[in-house]
Amino acid sequence: MRKSFLLLSVTIIIALYWLVSACGTPPVVPPGSEKKVVFKFHFDSTQARLNNLGMPAGVAAGRGALSPRVNEMAAHYIELSPNMLTPLGGGEVLYTGKETTAGGANAIIFDSLKKAGEGDIIYSIPISSVKAGTFEYLRVSLAYQNFDIKFKYTYNGTIPMYFDGTLASFVGYNTYIKNYTLKTQTITVNDDKLQGYWGFEIPPVSPYLPTGYSSTGQAPGTTVVNPIASTSPIPAGSCVVTGKFAQPLVITGDETEDIIVTVSLSTNKSFEWIENNADGWFEPAAGEVVVDMGIRGMVPTYTK
């Protein structure tokens, strides 16, 4: 009996050894080492200035425009789209931000947005969580941007002076905002704000504005670039910017390195106002009001 038991044990060990040798062992993936698709922001004031349909556009008569210095931006939605016929939402939707009806209508939750600056990561996702495929387009819904601009103030009605101001721009379809900070001043809202809402801060400029100044307003809308609007439109009032990869992004699922997607956004004269004084300077004290803060194009690139 003892001999039979030993013989059976040896047989089992040999069988297990053969099975492991033939099939191999599953690879052990150390925690944190899984490869990802990583999205990063880049802001470019020299990139082409486009209109809603993705065509080159100058500044309209009666308006002034400048290229802002972006401090931070936030996205609410990211989608990889296979081709120009793919409807919005029909591609690989990687990210959708949090929403609420606390203000009445459905709205983006401002406090949940991840704000990112130049070169910062917007979002990352394991490659194993992305459906393999070939993608020609990237779609990103922008929700918020904070930037600095130069503006003009005419002291005593005769002496022109030039200062830096900070503007917060809410470009998502609708945003529920408790409060937000411009640069040093905090604005309390506790309500929904539609696309185009903005706040502007002038820092203390002694002795002319020793306590600083802030104001808010509502632009009629923003430019949202979509070069495939004729085949794949976006809803009115949204801020889903569409850009085409120079070479389609192919994801196989077998990648051994991270895929880094750089989301290059055109800030080429993207801040626009109605000119009362035709001098090319934004002058709020002269009644010049904001009319557009939309990003003027998106060029996605990637490295693998």
Q: Tell me: the pLDDT tens digits for 37-59? A: 999 999 999 999 999 999 999 99
Residue 3 within a domain: no
21 against 178, higher pLDDT: 178
Give the helix ranges, DSSP H, for the chain: 2-23
> Is 112 part of any domain?
yes
Residue 58 lies in a domain: yes
> Residue 14: inside a domain, yes or no?
no
Domain range for 221: 36-303
Task: Provide the total of helices (H) and of strands (E) in the chain, helices listed first.
Answer: 1, 18
Specify if 115 maps to a domain.
Answer: yes
Name 130's bridge partners.
none
Radius of gyration of the chain (CA): 26
What is the average pLDDT value for the chain, to the nearest integer?
89
Instruction: Tell whether the model's pLDDT for residue 3 goes beyond 50.
Output: no
H or E segment at 197?
strand 197-202
139: nearest Cα among 234, 54, 237: 234
Q: How many CB atoms lie within 10 A of CB 149?
A: 17
Q: Report d(CA 257, CA 268) in Å as an integer.
A: 33
User: Is the full-model pTM beyond 0.85?
Assistant: yes
Q: Is 219 inside any structural domain?
A: yes
Q: What's the CA angle centered on 66, arms 301 and 42, to 5 degrees?
A: 20
For 8, 16, 75, 150, the CA distances from 4, given in Å and listed in that order, are: 6, 18, 69, 91
13 confidence band (pLDDT: 50, 70, 90): very low
How many Cβ atoms from other residues are within 10 Å of residue 250's Cβ?
14
pLDDT at 16 over 70: no
User: Is 31 inside a domain boundary?
Assistant: no
What whole-number distance in Å separates Cα of residue 180 and Cα of residue 243?
29
* Number of domains making up the chain: 1
142 CA to centre of own chain: 4
Residue 29 lies in a domain: no
Whether 91 shows a pLDDT value over 50: the answer reads yes
